[in-house]
Amino acid sequence: MFGLLKPILVPIHRDGWLFVAGFAIVTLILALLWAPLGWVGAILTVWCAYFFRDPPRIVPTRAGLVVSPADGVVQMIEAAVPPAELGLGPQPLTRISVFMNVFNVHVNRTPVDGMVGNLAYRPGKFFNASLDKASEFNERQAIALRIADGRDLVVVQIAGLVARRIRCDLRQSQPVRTGERFGLIRFGSRVDVYLPDGVAALVVPGQMMIAGETVIADLAATEPARRGEER
């Protein structure tokens, strides 16, 4: 029986307990006022717990693999300049944008082994995170990860239309391993990954991502960028 419930009864991120408790208290008050309102509150409380779920992931550990930092769908893949506040220069790099809706797991994970080279937070707008302009204008937390060969891989947490809180637990010069939890965005948002120069994306727009598990690039591969089609 536990095996059947294991995919449902997953851990809740520590940031979520305060919200779940708040929803539960409001639900109790609503139920005392009018029973049907209590049921509405109960449904919202369950959704809140579901939103903050933090399931374990099986992370591929071969050196050089880059995994998705977020659950969601690949919104776009294009050449773009990394956030200026990181000071990495004006050269465009391949950017993979993963959009998270309010039903995705929102715990973010490091995409590759390395060390945190630089961190830069920038306040901004709250456009829909699925729009291209969100990368430029929205509130964001940019992270440069220095990998073993000296190149940088950039991860950017971007706030969305509903999201109003970006959490990043990393600190400068901190060593990180592929698939480790490093932050959270609530509620609905986007994460961009800027691959090192010459590294091709191994995913395609529209593909579903699982944070910490789905391989989005291989630092040692020489194959060209992949194509895909709906079937």
Q: Let me know if residue 229 belongs to a domain.
A: no
Report the CATH number that the domain containing residue 137 is assigned in CATH. 2.70.70
Same domain membership, residue 69 and residue 47: no
Q: Is 142 helix (H, G, I), strand (E, B) or coil?
A: strand
Q: What does each of the 231 residues of the chain score in pLDDT, given as a tens digit? A: 444 445 556 777 777 677 778 888 888 888 788 878 888 888 888 877 777 788 999 999 999 999 999 999 999 999 999 999 999 999 999 999 999 888 888 899 999 999 999 999 998 776 666 667 767 778 899 999 999 999 999 999 998 766 567 889 999 999 999 999 999 887 668 999 999 999 999 999 999 999 999 999 999 888 888 888 788
Does one domain contain both 14 and 103?
no
Same domain? For 98 and 200 the reply is yes
Contacts of 87-95 spanning 24+ positions with Cβ under 8 A: 87/118, 88/144, 88/152, 88/154, 91/197, 93/154, 93/194, 93/195, 93/196, 93/197, 94/194, 94/195, 94/199, 94/200, 94/201, 94/225, 95/135, 95/192, 95/193, 95/194, 95/195
Whether 76 and 171 share a structural domain: yes
45 and 74 fall within a common domain: no
Same structural domain, 176 and 69:
yes
Whether residues 43 and 135 share a domain: the answer is no
**How many independent structural domains does the chain possess?**
2
78 within domain boundaries = yes
Q: Is residue 46 located within the same domain as residue 71?
A: no
Could you tell me the residue range of the domain that residue 30 belongs to? Answer: 2-51
Same domain, residue pair 72 and 99: yes
Note whether 102 and 29 are same-domain residues.
Answer: no
| Same domain assignment for residues 8 and 99 | no
Q: Could you give the residue numbers annotated as active site?
A: 189
Task: Give the DSSP H/E element, type plus range, for residue 35.
Answer: helix 35-51
